[in-house]
Amino acid sequence: MKKLLILSTAMTTVGFSASAAELAVISWGGAYETSQVEAYNKPFAAEKGVTVNMLAADNPATQIKAMVEAGNVTIDVADVELSDAVRLCDEGALEVIDHAALPAGVDGTPAADDFIDGALASECAVANIVWSTVAAYDNTKVAGASTIADFFDTTKYPGKRGLRKGAKANLEMALMADGVPAAEVYDVLSTPEGVDRAFAKLDTIKGDVVWWEAGAQPPQLLADGEVVMSTAYNGRIFAAAVGEGKPFSIIWDGQIMDFDLFVVPKGAPNKDLAMEYIAFATDSQRLADQSKYISYGPARKSSAALVGMYQDGKTEMGPHMPTSPEALKNALVNDFEFWADRDVELNERFNAWLAAN
């Protein structure tokens, strides 16, 4: 994996400078970055005769928001989560993307009908992958875990747990572990009693949690033995288990599915080239090509038939996707509208909870 380059708000004053023949793309680092470089950046650079510079951050949305507010945008394309795309678009921090200009599917289906539901939910964004937050464990230290409730059961499965440092996903998983059906999670979480219930469930493991912030951290925490279970992005666990031979297993029960999307920050120095990049990277074949490197599902329907083997030439990627039949048995789709409206409020509650004894 590539070394993660953490960008700070210092980039708002001393940033990456892109010329007309260069494109600056910011994403999440690690195995995910590798998949984008191989499937999108290298072929785009070769076809267009440009240089694509890849940068990484714990959350690219934070960086582009700071740049736009400072009036010094040095990034052309950013990969962000759906709730961030919706929020930033509403705030006027993103350029509008003409979805009608996106290429048709490889089977001729117009883009508007070829992208899966929700992939074009924001006028400022185009989805590239379906990914999920899952629970995962070291199968040399844990045996028999199969549900999200098992993740929260430190009596039956003792040991440290890794959790992302934030409210999103943790609250949903806590409710599902406490017996709330996936279909009812956001109804429950929309009430004060539901929020209290989620935090009460998190209380049961709070003393055993190691917090992570970057996607590359959970596999490392597991590999180093700092935790025996961790929430993680499914593609990171796949890359470690299949790509590197680590003894890691995924608990698909209670997974939270989401999109990652390409956006163009308002005032991007190479706006037109950025739009070309997004159209190129989100065609049927490129999205299918990405799945050779990581187990994230393509955001286009027509890409599904093009998904084949992992880069090792022997691992069928279909069963490792969050959209596989086994993975979908008790899956929750992230409610981006809920988080676009409640993100600040619930993270303030989360930070207060975290700071309390």
Name the band, by pLDDT with cuts 50, 70 and 90, for residue 241.
Answer: very high
Same domain, residue pair 187 and 274: no
4 in a structural domain? no
φ, ψ at 69 (rounded to 5°): -65, -30
Same domain, residue pair 66 and 98: yes
Same domain, residue pair 187 and 294: no
Same domain, residue pair 211 and 170: yes
158 in a structural domain? yes
The two structure tokens encoding residue 264: 């163009």
pLDDT for 11 beyond 60: no
Same domain, residue pair 117 and 145: no
185 in a structural domain? yes
Q: Which of 237, 258, 236 is nearest to 331 (CA)?
A: 258
Same domain, residue pair 84 and 165: no
230 in a structural domain? yes
Neighbours of 12 (CB within 10 A): 17
Same domain, residue pair 121 and 146: no
For residue 265, the 8-state DSSP code is B
1 in a structural domain? no
Same domain, residue pair 349 and 220: yes
φ, ψ at 13 (rounded to 5°): -115, -35
22-41 residue pLDDT tens: 999 999 998 899 999 999 99
Same domain, residue pair 37 and 146: no
pTM here is 0.78
Same domain, residue pair 16 and 119: yes
Task: Check residue 304 and give its pLDDT.
Answer: 86
pLDDT for 15 beyond 80: no
The two structure tokens encoding residue 122: 């924001």
User: Residue 140 burial (CB < 10 Å; 0-12/13-18/19+)?
Assistant: exposed
3 in a structural domain? no
Q: Which of 177, 334, 202 is nearest to 256 (CA)?
A: 334
Residue tagged 């001393």 (tokens): 14
323 in a structural domain? no
Same domain, residue pair 249 and 148: yes
Domain of residue 303, CATH code: 3.40.190.10
Give the H or E element holding residue 112.
Answer: helix 111-114
Q: What count of Cα atoms within 13 Å lies in the side-chain half-sphere of residue 59? A: 14
292 in a structural domain? yes
86-137 residue pLDDT tens: 999 999 999 999 999 999 999 999 999 999 888 999 999 999 999 999 999 9
Provide the domain count of the chain. Answer: 2
344 is in which domain, residue-wise? Answer: 133-257+328-355
Same domain, residue pair 149 and 224: yes
